[in-house]
Amino acid sequence: MDKLTVRDLDAAGKRVFVRVDFNVPLEDGKVTDDSRIRAAIPTIKYLQDQGAKVILASHLGRPDGKVSDRLRLRPVAERLSQLLGRTVPVTGDALGVGTEDALKRLRNGEVLLLENLRFHAAEEKNDPKFAEQLAAYCDVYVNDAFGTAHRAHASTVGIAKLRPAYAGLLMEKELANLGKLLDNPEHPFAAIIGGAKVSDKIKVLKHLLDKVDLMVIGGGMANTFLLAQGKPIGKSLAEPDRVEDARAILARAEEIGVKIILPVDVVVAKEVTRGTEYKTLSAEKVPASWHIVDLGKQSLTNIEAALADVRTVLWNGPLGVFEIPSFAHGTKALARFLAIRASEGAAVVIGGGDSVAAITQQGLADKMTHISTGGGASLEFLEGRELPGVTVLLDRKPETSA
């Protein structure tokens, strides 16, 4: 998926509308995780250095088309200003006379942040008039918000049809790293898929099965697969209506020679809460009234042994109830092991909120090959689906030989 990027753009003196993903967590009016803001800095600085007038736009939360003071972007602008070392003003609204005045005052190399786009219901409806109003602000459009590229909104698709539309540097990086997993991974290639539900990732599992050599299944998802194998799972989270899907995946994997790794021992707890009683048991012997909450030590050993010689790893989703510290050991241990594999030259790509959290909490982010900012967009991309916010960007024309 070869798209034109900001590197192909002569931005000097141009008004450049950049869709960023500043949907970050806030607490007491402060940004608690600035990783998405940091991820946009290379594109912003590149355009500044070119002498562009940079107009940033993002959503924050789900205000459902209404103004919400707690979802204003001022805290984001403050953090961005600190990171850029210069003040980035934020408008009072994405539209209106005040915003138009601020845009007229914008000089080459300066940055302006528009207020939360989703204060307008027209944004999520991809309303043509709203897209035209946004397009009137700029000469060129840049999408650097991979995390929203699976949404056909006014700021991701509508405006891109009205102005020359380029990929930002983060978008380029996401497409290159995730695209390589699907199109040209170095083998052996392993996918580690965790999280709560098979239904959320069934299409990813099926799409990746024909591309990987090895698949590790963990988290709540694994319980449905254990159920499919006739094993007891007690009161564990599972999806009985997806057991046939799990059986079909296991059968297909056996047919094409893909190794599937499931837990052989598990941590079980009386309740899925902090401070509850828990112990490690064989996956064959889960008591009827207990919950599977994490991997056991033997399961982790098996995973590490299987990953010892892989050249490419995709990890999406935790291996246990990650939000409870006592049940996060498997997920955190896997994060540490993958950092070692990355240091040995394996390509390690991480996606999914809890997987990323396990990496960042342990200070391992810079050890990995790529950490996706995508969330739902990453999953849809890995399912092999077209992302509307990517499709609409300008294609690079193939070079013709003389």
How far is residue 161's CA from residue 260's CA, in Å, rounded to a whole number?
43
Any idea which architecture 185-371 has in CATH? Answer: 3-Layer(aba) Sandwich (3.40)
Q: What is the pLDDT of residue 276?
A: 95
Q: Which H or E run includes 171?
A: helix 169-183
User: Does residue 402 have a pLDDT over 50?
Assistant: no
> Strands 189-193 and 214-217: what pairing?
parallel
Q: Which amino acid is at 234?
A: G
Query: In whole angstroms, what separates CA 254 from the centre of its chain?
Result: 30
Express each pLDDT in 308-321 by its tens digit.
Answer: 999 999 999 999 99
Q: What is the pLDDT of residue 399?
A: 67
Task: List, in sequence order, every residue forming a beta bridge with 167; answer none if it has no partner.
Answer: 5, 143
Contact yes or no for 352/125 (Cβ under 8 A): no
Q: What is the pLDDT of residue 103?
A: 97
How far is residue 393's CA from residue 137's CA, in Å, rounded to a whole number?
18
- Averaged pLDDT for residues 77-92: 97
Fold of the 6-174 domain: Rossmann fold (3.40.50)
What are the strands of the beta sheet with 189-193, ordered from one edge?
259-261, 214-217, 189-193, 312-316, 347-351, 370-371
Q: What six digits make up the tokens of 276?
A: 């509850």
Task: List, in sequence order, every residue forming a beta bridge with 191; answer none if it has no partner.
Answer: 215, 314
Helix axes 198-209, 219-228, angle to 10 degrees: 80
Mean pLDDT highest for which of 118-122, 356-360, 398-402? 118-122
How far is the CA of 224 from the CAs of 28, 182, 287, 354, 390, in angstroms?
39, 26, 16, 20, 34
- The answer to whether 197 is a known catalytic residue is yes
How far is residue 283's CA from residue 10's CA, in Å, rounded to a whole number?
59
User: Does residue 400 have a pLDDT over 60?
Assistant: no
Counting residues of the chain whose pLDDT is more than 90, the rounded percentage is 89
Residue 351 pLDDT class (50, 70, 90 cuts): confident
Residue 355 pLDDT class (50, 70, 90 cuts): confident
Task: List, in sequence order, every residue forming a beta bridge with 81; answer none if it has no partner.
Answer: none
User: Does residue 401 have a pLDDT over 70?
Assistant: no
Q: What is the pLDDT of residue 200?
A: 85
Express each pLDDT in 235-252 by its tens digit.
Answer: 999 999 999 999 999 999
- The answer to whether 367 is a known catalytic residue is no
Q: Which of 125, 180, 197, 311 is catalytic?
A: 197
By the 10 Å C-beta count (0-12 exposed, 13-18 middle, 19+ buried), 91 is classed as buried
Are both 6-174 and 185-371 of the same fold? yes
Q: How many residues does the chain have?
A: 402
Q: What six digits make up the tokens of 378?
A: 């990453």
Q: What is the pTM of this model?
A: 0.90
Task: List, in sequence order, every residue forming a beta bridge with 316; answer none if it has no partner.
Answer: 193, 351
Residue 260 pLDDT class (50, 70, 90 cuts): very high
Residue 33 pLDDT class (50, 70, 90 cuts): confident
Residue 224 CB partners (closer than 8 Å, separation 6+): 198, 238, 239, 240, 242, 243, 246
Task: For the chain, give every domain's residue range.
Answer: 6-174, 185-371
- Averaged pLDDT for residues 188-192: 97
Q: What count of other Cβ atoms lies within 10 Å of the Cβ of residue 284?
A: 13
Contact yes or no for 166/9 (Cβ under 8 A): yes
Q: Which of 15, 36, 79, 118 is catalytic?
A: 36
How far is residue 396's CA from residue 134's CA, in Å, rounded to a whole number?
25
Q: Which of 66, 353, 385, 396 is catalytic?
A: 353
Residue 213 CB partners (closer than 8 Å, separation 6+): 187, 188, 189, 190, 258, 259, 310
How far is residue 241's CA from residue 246's CA, in Å, rounded to a whole number?
10
